[in-house]
Amino acid sequence: MLEGQTLSGVQSTLLVSGVDEADPAAYVAQVGYGLRGTRPWEDPSWTWGPLEVQQVSGPLVTYQGELTVTEGGYLDMAARVSSDGGYTFVFGDLDGSDDGYAPDGAAKLTVWGVPRPGAIVINELMWMGSNENPNLPSATWDNGSNCAT
């Protein structure tokens, strides 16, 4: 995906143990992203967005939302849920939260950067070799063809 695009259809499911019917109003659910390999409770650069209730089925609450990633990079995604209005959170990765959140278990997101107006973009680097090797011809730049000869 490109930075600035929206990833929709992000889902997370909450299992509220010990109840017959979960009350989704009692929870704050969010989805977020941060730099790959970081832990969201330790790294304040993580960005979070709301998840909305999609379905309630007994003790299961399914949430859905979307993320708009504003900067390119290699990112991890996580869900978090709070039962105290957002004061504390439980974090979940792809296999839930029973074993805790681990960066290795996080959903991976690759976001490609988009050049800003006026930005200089280098899309190719050339190395001409070493002039210290007498067996290699020295390189000169040919302005007519924009290539080394």
pLDDT grade for 134, boundaries at 50, 70 and 90 = low
Taking the C-alpha atoms of residue 59 and residue 53, their distance in angstroms, rounded to an integer, is: 13
**Does residue 82 or residue 125 have the better pLDDT?**
82
Domain that holds residue 11: 6-111
Report the pLDDT averaged over residues 86-109: 90
The answer to whether residue 44 is domain-embedded is yes
Phi, psi (degrees; rounded to nearest 5) at 124: -155, 135
The answer to whether residue 40 is domain-embedded is yes
Taking the C-alpha atoms of residue 1 and residue 121, their distance in angstroms, rounded to an integer, is: 19
The answer to whether residue 100 is domain-embedded is yes
The answer to whether residue 83 is domain-embedded is yes
pLDDT grade for 98, boundaries at 50, 70 and 90 = confident
The answer to whether residue 139 is domain-embedded is no
Domain count for the chain: 1
Query: What proportion of the chain, given as a percentage, has pLDDT over 70?
Result: 83
